[in-house]
């Protein structure tokens, strides 16, 4: 299997201003060189708002349409979360948008009650693991980072979204994994994680990489939100041993990391810790 290029965009979001945020991210994505996945922060079009009644879109709305257009134009996968209304409920929904305009999505499982997120949004019930170039990518959102069981490698059936590089796109499928075959290779968290708790953010990103023997990519925002809560970013790329390959605090940046498949396979072969893990099923 070949390497995988992932571009992180750490940006200062305009509070509840979709047009400004989409224009800003559009300019940054358009300026990117060669890459395969572009990762945007949590609620990248609005900031972490508790006003879904005013800001929610449907799956054929402005932001998803923008994601389709940008992914097709740049021939990249774009992922990030936004506010979606569906069947009378609001979701903090992460979209995995393919260049052919097919997509998968993950609804944030762990809602941040400390900020009242559970009072405005419905929780998701299933994980999404996407596939690109033979790499399996587990996609999660912000507060999910504090709950290691939800991210844990397991050998029970899970939802898997294959992209056209692996086979003709046929929609989500349930697949099984053996203990010898890790469920995924890359763990992505998109976030609006405040600076006041950034030590936990940095520590847990490294912990998830070590315990799951995978690369971890965490993309956070910078700047003050509409509630005057400051975010220092500290977006990060971590290798399967927990070593930080790249991070930057307080400034906006665009960075493309190349994930090394050979390194990942060598670590798993030399230190086969995953096979000694406990079997479990999340219900």
Confidence check: pLDDT of 131 > 60:
yes
Are 204 and 234 contacting, i.e. CB atoms less than 8 angstroms apart?
no
The pLDDT assigned to 278 comes to 86
The pLDDT assigned to 176 comes to 45
Confidence check: pLDDT of 47 > 70:
yes
The pLDDT assigned to 181 comes to 85
**Helical ranges in the chain per DSSP H:** 18-30, 52-55, 62-74, 148-151, 198-212, 261-270
Confidence check: pLDDT of 142 > 60:
yes
Query: Which pair of structure tokens corresponds to residue 185?
Result: 């290779």
Q: What is the mean pLDDT of residues 44-69?
A: 98
Confidence check: pLDDT of 171 > 90:
no
Q: What is the mean pLDDT of residues 195-205?
A: 98
Confidence check: pLDDT of 90 > 50:
yes
The pLDDT assigned to 155 comes to 56
The pLDDT assigned to 215 comes to 98
Span between the terminal Cα atoms of the chain, in Å: 33
Q: What is the mean pLDDT of residues 127-155?
A: 95
pLDDT grade for 1, boundaries at 50, 70 and 90: low
- Indicate the average pLDDT of the chain: 92
**250 CB contacts (<8 Å, ≥6 apart)?**
222, 232, 233
Confidence check: pLDDT of 183 > 70:
yes
Q: What is the mean pLDDT of residues 230-251?
A: 98
pLDDT grade for 163, boundaries at 50, 70 and 90: low
What is the strand order of the sheet 103-107 is part of?
A: 103-107, 89-97, 77-86, 37-39, 4-10, 253-259
The pLDDT assigned to 152 comes to 96
Q: At what angle do helices 62-74 and 18-30 cross, to 10 degrees?
A: 10
Confidence check: pLDDT of 177 > 60:
no
The pLDDT assigned to 161 comes to 58
Confidence check: pLDDT of 164 > 90:
no
Confidence check: pLDDT of 178 > 60:
no
Confidence check: pLDDT of 174 > 70:
no
The pLDDT assigned to 281 comes to 80
The pLDDT assigned to 180 comes to 63
**203 CB contacts (<8 Å, ≥6 apart)?**
none
Return the minimum-mean-pLDDT range out of 55-59, 97-101, 155-159: 155-159
Q: What is the mean pLDDT of residues 16-29?
A: 98
Ramachandran bin of 116, using left for φ above 0, alpha for ψ from -120 to 50, beta for the remaining angles = left
pTM of the predicted model as reported, rounded to 2 decimal places:
0.91
Tokens 């994994």 — which residue? 177
The pLDDT assigned to 173 comes to 45
The pLDDT assigned to 279 comes to 83
**Ordered structural domains, the chain, with CATH:** 4-276 (3.60.110.10)
Provide the annotated active-site residues.
Answer: 42, 108, 142
DSSP 3-state assignment of 221?
Answer: coil
C-alpha to C-alpha distance for 80 and 60, rounded to whole angstroms: 16
């Amino acid at each position: 299997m070949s390497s995988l290029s992932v571009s992180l965009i750490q940006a200062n979001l305009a509070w509840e201003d979709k047009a400004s945020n989409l224009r800003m991210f559009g300019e940054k994505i358009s300026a990117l060189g060669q890459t395969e996945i572009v990762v945007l922060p949590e609620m990248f079009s609005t900031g972490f708002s508790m006003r879904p009644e005013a800001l929610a879109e449907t799956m054929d709305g402005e932001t998803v349409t923008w994601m389709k257009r940008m992914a097709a134009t740049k021939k990249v996968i774009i992922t990030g979360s936004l506010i979606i209304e569906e069947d009378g409920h609001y979701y903090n929904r992460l979209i995995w948008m393919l260049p052919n305009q097919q997509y998968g999505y993950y609804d944030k499982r762990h809602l941040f009650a400390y900020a009242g997120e559970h009072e405005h949004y419905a929780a998701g019930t299933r994980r999404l693991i996407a596939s690109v170039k033979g790499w399996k990518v587990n996609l999660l959102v912000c507060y999910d980072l504090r709950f290691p069981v939800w991210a844990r490698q397991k050998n029970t059936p899970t939802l898997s979204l294959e992209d056209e590089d692996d086979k003709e796109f046929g929609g989500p499928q349930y697949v099984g994994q053996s203990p010898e075959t890790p469920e995924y290779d890359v763990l992505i968290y998109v976030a609006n994680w405040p600076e006041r708790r950034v030590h936990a953010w940095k520590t847990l990103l490294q912990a998830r990489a070590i315990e799951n023997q995978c690369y971890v990519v965490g993309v956070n925002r910078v700047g003050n939100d509409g509630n005057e809560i400051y975010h220092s970013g500290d977006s990060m790329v971590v290798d399967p041993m927990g070593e930080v390959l790249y991070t930057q605090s307080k400034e906006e940046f665009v960075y493309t990391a190349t994930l090394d498949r050979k390194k990942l396979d060598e670590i798993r072969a030399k230190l086969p810790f995953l096979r000694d893990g406990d079997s479990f099923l999340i219900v």
